[in-house]
Amino acid sequence: SSSASKLQRNPLFSSLEPRDVSFFNEILGGEKYVVQDEERLETANTDWMHKYRGSSKLMLLPKNTEEVSQILKYCDSRSLAVVPQGGNTGLVGGSVPVFDEVIINVGLMNKVLSFDEVSGVLVCEAGCILENLATFLDTKGFVMPLDLGAKGSCHIGGNVSTNAGGLRLIRYGSLHGTVLGLEAVTANGNVLDMLGTLRKDNTGYDLKHLFIGSEGSLGIVTKVSILTQPKMSSVNLAFIACKDFLSCQKLLVEAKRNLGEILSAFEFLDNNSMDLVLNHLDGVRNPVSSSGNFYILIETTGSGETYDREKLEAFLLKSLEQGLVSDGVIAQDINQASSFWRIREGITEALQKAGAFYKYDLSLPVEEIYNIVNDLRGRLGDLANVMGYGHLGDGLIEPYVYEWTSKHRGSISAEHGLGVMKANEIFYSKSPETVALMVSIKKLLDPKGILNPYKVLPHSFFSP
């Protein structure tokens, strides 16, 4: 990548030596946990998009917090830079080394520690895969407050570290609200026990928030306590075609007004995104017959089987009559519902199959969202295929251009974070004073800067 290739390795960091490997073998209990195998390292060095590649010679797999603490304490004393890695599904190059940083993956720390069926509070280790947590909760009649296309691989620790948004944010809010506590280890090996399970605890600075969304730059998250929600018996999903973006916006307003208490997702994609998925993924077909220019997925989740369905049907009918919607279907069963979701969730995968792509993850005021796609189409002409899709319900979309976004008071990273891709772009979304405080906090918690260097903060911070 262009932004990563301009970076220089910080010469203050040590290089890995055989004695380091011996030390890790000793504390972790053998080679099984101290990975030097080239093939496995190749995978761990490469990000999900195959856009960023590091050259780490070592991946460590700690089994508990104590081991994470010992690893970090040692790396800090030796000035060995590290990169915390979860499921490695991040989309901004944050989860892979830029140079030879030691990869620390907490994937073996994957136990559920407790679940309270009264409060819905789940406490688990950071390496639990999101989908496994969802499956566990399903047996208890609960759901995770977040869901994303990468659920089969991403870790809850990675989700917390990126403050992942995802498909249910419109209903359950962000992780800053649902994460009740966490345990994290800072660079010097200090274990911070902030693993509260209370919804209310106003005793001083709420430091857990520093670790939510800090992309492994302040510490390694080792445990998470999160508020889950009772599973509702009735979930309905409609796939809708709209002729223009204005109709999509109006539909969102109407959906909030008419389906408010049961609305759980409002996702949008344009015709180009639909074509992409149809062309690159097997077994996908367009559920609506009349092709629109835009498509919307509306999911409702509630407790009244008949009531909810009737409500959604009536909403759809009314929207058809008003001309907001040109066509629409409601999934008849769970298989059909998954095939609808497959279209929206498959876009990232289809992009990867289609070849080189620039993927931006922006948030903008809803009325501005599609203008950026149109402006870019004009600017790029035949040079590129510009497509827009995203979580419209909370004002998000994923096309590009930082200046445009900044000018319209959007955020240059809605959900995916800054990683290495956007670290230098931070000033588009944050004031110099705010970035200066971030730098101070980073220096306080990680004085030698060994934790996920070259990420999040502007590159100038990392030049010695």
Residues near ligand FAD (CB under 6 A) are 48, 83-91, 94-95, 106, 126, 148-150, 154-155, 157-159, 161-162, 164-166, 215-216, 220-221, 348, 415-416, 419, 452, 455
Minimum CB separation of residue 151 from ligand FAD in Å reads: 8
Closer residue to ligand FAD in complex, CB, 188/293: 188
Q: Which is nearer to ligand FAD, 87 or 302 (CB)?
A: 87
Residue 189 Cα distances to 70, 185, 192, 287, angstroms: 6, 6, 9, 53
Q: b/e per residue, 221-249, with b = 16+ CB within 10 A?
A: bbbbbbbbbeebebbbbbbbbbbebebbb
Kindly state the smallest distance separating residue 173's Cβ from ligand FAD, in Å. Answer: 13
C-alpha to C-alpha distance for 53 and 62, rounded to whole angstroms: 23
CA nearest neighbour of 242 among 257, 260, 255: 255
Least CB distance to ligand FAD at residue 162 (A): 4
Q: What is the DSSP letter of 14?
A: P
Of 4 and 221, CB closest to ligand FAD? 221
Q: What's the closest the beta carbon of residue 306 comes to ligand FAD, in angstroms? A: 31
Q: Which residue is nearest to ligand FAD (CB)?
A: 158
CB-based burial label for 415 (10 Å; 0-12, 13-18, 19+) = buried
Q: Are residues 199 and 180 in contact, defined by beta-carbon separation less than 8 angstroms?
A: yes
CB of 395 to ligand FAD, least distance (A): 14
CB of 456 to ligand FAD, least distance (A): 8
Separation between Cα atoms, residue 60 and residue 351, nearest integer Å = 31
Please state the closest distance from residue 31 (CB atom) to ligand FAD, in A.
Answer: 23
Residue with Cβ nearer ligand FAD (154 or 316): 154
Joined together, the tokens standing for residue 372 give: 């950026």
- Whether 398 and 434 have beta carbons less than 8 Å apart is answered as no
Of the pair 88, 326, the CB lying nearest ligand FAD is at 88
In the complex, the smallest distance separating the C-beta of residue 176 from ligand FAD, rounded to whole angstroms, is 13
Minimum distance, C-beta of residue 211 to ligand FAD, in the bound complex (Å) = 7
Nearer to ligand FAD, 159 or 300 (CB): 159
Choice between 211 and 428, CB closer to ligand FAD: 211
Q: Cβ closer to ligand FAD: 302 or 346?
A: 346
End-to-end CA separation in angstroms for the chain:
22
> Phi/psi at 11 (nearest 5 deg)?
-70, -10
Contact 167, 391 (CB under 8 A): yes
In the complex with ligand FAD, the residue whose CB is nearer, 187 or 325, is 187
Cβ contact 174:165 at 8 Å: yes
CA atoms within 13 A on the CB side of 213: 17
**In the complex, least distance from residue 321 CB atom to ligand FAD, rounded to whole angstroms:** 33
Determine contact, residues 344/389, Cβ cutoff 8 Å. Answer: yes
Q: What is the largest CA-CA distance in the chain?
A: 73
What's the number of CA atoms in the CB half-sphere (13 Å) around residue 86? Answer: 32
- Of residues 223 and 311, the one with the C-beta less far from ligand FAD: 223
Distance CA 130, CA 394 (A): 22
